[in-house]
Chain A
Amino acid sequence: DADVTQTPRNRITKTGKRIMLECSQTKGHDRMYWYRQDPGLGLQLIYYSFDVKDINKGEISDGYSVSRQAQAKFSLSLESAIPNQTALYFCATSDNEGSNEQFFGPGTRLTVL
């Protein structure tokens, strides 16, 4: 079983709809992250959380919100989706030791019409 899972894997929605993307991990890591990737670009950080009570904005948090329901779960919400939020969304986790390598989920491809 995958260590970091994301649901759904693909989603098509309409402008103005509320969307929630979910991330779960079995790695036991405290730190979790949400990134978005636009075509032809690298990943940009949306939000990150160092533990259940710690939520921080990343580079591009406008239009997004998050919820850290438990150590293992970190959800990303688009309150009112717009077309330029069409992208590939990644969840990642890391521990706070060593290289702090981030382990990525498989990604969610979101299309906003």
Chain B
Amino acid sequence: AQKITQTQPGMFVQEKEAVTLDCTYDTSDQSYGLFWYKQPSSGEMIFLIYQGSYDEQNATEGRYSLNFQKARKSANLVISASQLGDSAMYFCAMRAYNTDKLIFGTGTRLQVFP
């Protein structure tokens, strides 16, 4: 069975500092995709970044990068130069290519302070 684990219920970071949000996954599939979504207090789900299991390079999107360590089955999100607007819930999710279903972790609440 597929599973996503986010072990950090909450994280604090000072503005302009970098922060890493942890995500580990469990799957027996060879092909899969890993996603990070942001959910601000307003409730919407905002796509941040994607990493395919066969991608050799770590994904980057602006201030977001994904530290993908396939052997350890981890896909940590790194946010550089944190901003107050980054305060939100962050969800890691996995999709197996043969099912297209997303499995979500329980999320990490990030709070950025001045």
Interface of A is mostly: strand
Interface of B is mostly: strand
The contact of A106 among B35, B37, B44, B107, by CB within 8 Å, is B44
A-B contact count (CB 8 A): 57
The contact of A100 among B37, B45, B100, by CB within 8 Å, is B100
* Known contacts A99-B52, A100-B100; is-contact A42 B106 (Cβ 8 Å): yes
Q: Is the CB of A45 within 8 A of B101?
A: yes
Q: Is the CB of A44 within 8 A of B104?
A: yes
Q: Is the CB of A43 within 8 A of B95?
A: no
The contact of B43 among A33, A100, A102, A109, by CB within 8 Å, is A109
Contact residues in A for B37 (Cβ distance below 8 Å): 104
Q: Which of B48-67 contact A (CB under 8 A)?
A: 50, 52
The contact of A43 among B33, B50, B102, by CB within 8 Å, is B102
Chain B residues engaging chain A, CB cutoff 8 angstroms: 4, 33, 35, 37, 43-47, 50, 52, 91, 93, 95, 97, 100-102, 104-107
